[in-house]
Amino acid sequence: NAGVTQTPKFRILKIGQSMTLQCTQDMNHNYMYWYRQDPGMGLKLIYYSVGAGITDKGEVPNGYNVSRSTTEDFPLRLELAAPSQTSVYFCASSYSIQGLVSSNQPQHFGDGTRLSIL
Amino acid sequence: AQSVTQLGSHVSVSEGALVLLRCNYSSSVPPYLFWYVQYPNQGLQLLLKYTSAATLVKGINGFEAEFKKSETSFHLTKPSAHMSDAAEYFCAVTKGGGGNKLTFGTGTQLKVEL
């Protein structure tokens, strides 16, 4: 059971380049999330999705874009990489009944993508 | 808005000693609370969750946490630390507003010494 799979694990980008961080899950979860983790800051939510075709902004969406064409996949796109986007990026998924404000279902995390922008 | 505060960004204990990691939450509605652990170069793994069924929650690897509404706390404990417990620990609370979003604390790095 693979769970949440993120690729690549490491990447170095030059300023201004673009790239897509891939995330796929095999648990048939309807909710998916992208976070960034910076030292001493915890995790900050970038974007999330409550189902295929539905995405919404989190706390720190600037400079990023997402799409959700299937239940399994939730790629994160950086269009013009900036040094401030150097971080560790985590994808997560969870199951929840649609329409609930909150749920006791935990989020399941991938192993992260370590991104450096120079 | 819902939030969590983790007191102490670094905690050091001796092997065999009690582990106590502190988490206080702020929530305008009954919260769902979670503790996650992160080992080096890995993602977050669920340790335990509070869902209002019982105030004392047991998790994996011998960890447990007690929900205290009067103190707005959800501290994580383990009676006897093991070297393998060295990791970063995050407390999280449901954020509300749909999407089952979580607000995470800033984390506590646990060091276990011989």
Number of Cβ within 10 Å of residue A15's Cβ equals 11
What's the rounded mean pLDDT across residues A88-107? 83
CB–CB of A67/A55 below 8 Å? Answer: yes
What secondary structure, in 3-state letters, does chain A show? Answer: CCCEEEECCEEEECCCCCEEEEEEECCCCCEEEEEEECCCCCEEEEEEEEECCEEEECCCCCCEEECCCCCCECCEEECCCCHHHCEEEEEEEECCCCCCCCCCCCCEECCCEEEEEC
Q: Give the residue carrying structure tokens 């790629």.
A: A75
Answer for the pair B102, B95: CB distance below 8 angstroms, yes or no: yes
Please name every residue paired with B59 in a beta bridge, in sequence order, or none if there are none: none
* Pairing of the two strands A43-51 and A76-78: unpaired
Residue A98 has pLDDT above 90, yes or no: no
User: Tell me: the pLDDT tens digits for B57-70?
Assistant: 999 999 999 999 89
Q: Which two tokens stand for residue A114?
A: 């370590």
Closest approach of B32 to chain A, Cα-based (Å): 6
Chain B nearest CA to A89, separation (Å):
10
Q: What is the pLDDT of residues A50-62, one digit of tens each?
A: 999 999 999 999 9
Tell whether B43 is within 8 A of chain A (Cβ).
Answer: yes
Chain B residues near residue A90 by CB distance under 8 angstroms = 43-44
The answer on pLDDT for A101 being more than 90 is no
Q: Say if residue A100's pLDDT is above 70.
A: no
